[in-house]
Amino acid sequence: MSAERWIELDGAVNVRDLGGLPTVDGGTTNAGVLIRSDNLQGLSDKDVRRLVDDYGLTTVLDLRTPTEVRLEGPGPLVTEGLRHVNLDLIPTWDVAEGASERIVPHEQREEGDLSHFYLTYLDQMPQSVVDALRVLADPATGPVVVHCAAGKDRTGVIVALALHVAGVDRAEIVADYALTGERIEAVRDRLAASPTYAEDMKNRPIDDMRPHALSMRHFLDRLDERGGAVAWLTEQGFGPDEQAALRGRLIS
Chain length of the chain: 252
Give the integer Cα–Cα distance in Å for 63 and 165. Answer: 19
Local structure of residue 13 (DSSP, 8 states): S
Range 95-101 contact pairs with CB under 8 angstroms and sequence separation of 24 or more: 95/67, 96/67, 96/70, 101/199
Catalytic status, residue 50: no
- Distance, CA of 123 to CA of 118 (rounded, Å): 9
Count CA within 13 A, CB hemisphere, residue 68.
Answer: 29
What is the spatial distance between Cα 77 and Cα 81, in angstroms, rounded to a whole number? 7
User: Residues 148, 150, 163, 246: which is the catalytic one?
Assistant: 148
**Measured CA angle at 130 (ends 100, 213), to 5 deg:** 70
- The catalytic site residues sit at 148
